[in-house]
Amino acid sequence: MNCRTEEKQKIEELIDLAIRQLSFSYAPYSGFFVGAALECADGTIYGGCNIENASFGPSNCAERTAFFKAVSEGKRQFRRIAIVGGKDGKITEYCAPCGVCRQVMREFCGPDFEIILAKSKKEWNVYLLKDLLPESFGPEMLDGKK
């Protein structure tokens, strides 16, 4: 990824927070820990971790945890999210968001929302939501303008 030094530092800051969020993960069933750091349009950052449940359905991914924390505090505009994850909290591969998380992102973000998948602060890739969720269904579909 070729970007300005300021942008690179901001991305590395997000990745660092996402990595720290791994320690808060509650994953006694899968053992797969996920951390996320969501940057709002105003620069505010919210962290999130995955939270599992014995009946699985009520489990919540790190990405949705970060979004729901931000939305519950009145945030509605977002710039990007950094995501890390791995078995037993050890990051070995990139950890992409699940389909449900991608749809939640689409609810609040446009197609150019940035999704940073990282293995470390030095090893990461940036994707756009439109590339990870092509032909998506968004809120504008319901207002009759699309």
Sign of CA dihedral 125, 130, 135, 141: positive
24-52 burial: b if 16+ Cβ within 10 Å, else e? ebebeeeeebbbbbbbbeeeebbbbbbbb
CB atoms within 10 A of CB 121: 18
Q: Which residue out of 7, 13, 52, 63 is catalytically annotated?
A: 63
Decide if 93 is catalytic: no
* Alpha carbon distance 120, 18 (integer Å): 10
Residues with a catalytic annotation lie at 63
